[in-house]
A and B are shown apart, each in its own frame.
Chain A
């Protein structure tokens, strides 16, 4: 149980284009999903917290107009990187929290590797 999927698993795009990444909880409902980013040789950094039906909360230094997050249902959150640039190339990983539970164990998706040329 507690499986999270991401699509696509990898994407290559040209500078200036937008890329959408989907995160789905397959066998549970997630009121809260999180988006992380990991650059090579570094750890995961929280980008934003996404709550179903409300606006995402962004961490300091993350541009909300560049990284658009939509959490339209209890099983789907999307991250759109708008006007992507090479410095946005990274490993983007989402996680989902099991709704109704007290403990904050997060289940991670397999990640999406974005390369911006």
Chain B
């Protein structure tokens, strides 16, 4: 059974600092990786997708993937209070898009003003 592990937190970071979120996954053949942000009572909102080893940057967000270590991370630079949310790591399969996602339990991030 596929598993995605995240530290549940809460992770508290001062405003303006870098928030670092980590995720490990169990299925070595996974090919697609996603970070979603979820506010309380709302559905997930896609932040980043990454498919190849290395870094991928989009604005204040950088996703990092290391398939050999089965490790995914998300860095949030210049953290803002509005970034306070639960961040879900999700892993897809090898079905070319036909697979559902396996989610971690999420890390609760708190940005302190």
Q: Which residues of A contact B (CB under 8 A)?
A: 32, 34, 36, 42-46, 49, 51, 59, 91, 93, 95, 97, 101-111, 113
* Cβ–Cβ < 8 Å partners of A42 in chain B: 105
Least CB distance, A95 to chain B, in whole angstroms = 8
Q: For chain B, which range describes its interface: under 10, 10 to 19, 20 to 34, or 35 or more residues?
A: 20 to 34
Contact B43 A43 (CB under 8 A): no
Q: Is the interface of A mostly helix, strand, loop or mixed?
A: strand
Please tell me if B57 contacts chain A, counting CB pairs below 8 Å.
no
* Cβ–Cβ < 8 Å partners of B97 in chain A: 32, 97, 101-105
CA distance A9 to B107 in the complex (A): 25
CA distance A111 to B104 in the complex (A): 18
Q: In this complex, what residue of B is CB-closest to A60?
A: B1
**Known contacts A43-B106, A104-B95; A110 and B42 CB within 8 A of each other:** yes
* CB < 8 Å neighbour of A43 from B34, B41, B51, B104: B104
* CB < 8 Å neighbour of A103 from B42, B43, B51, B103: B51
Please tell me if B81 contacts chain A, counting CB pairs below 8 Å.
no
Contact string, B63-91, partner A, CB cutoff 8 A, digits 1/0? 00000000000000000000000001000
CA distance A54 to B14 in the complex (A): 50
CA distance A44 to B36 in the complex (A): 11
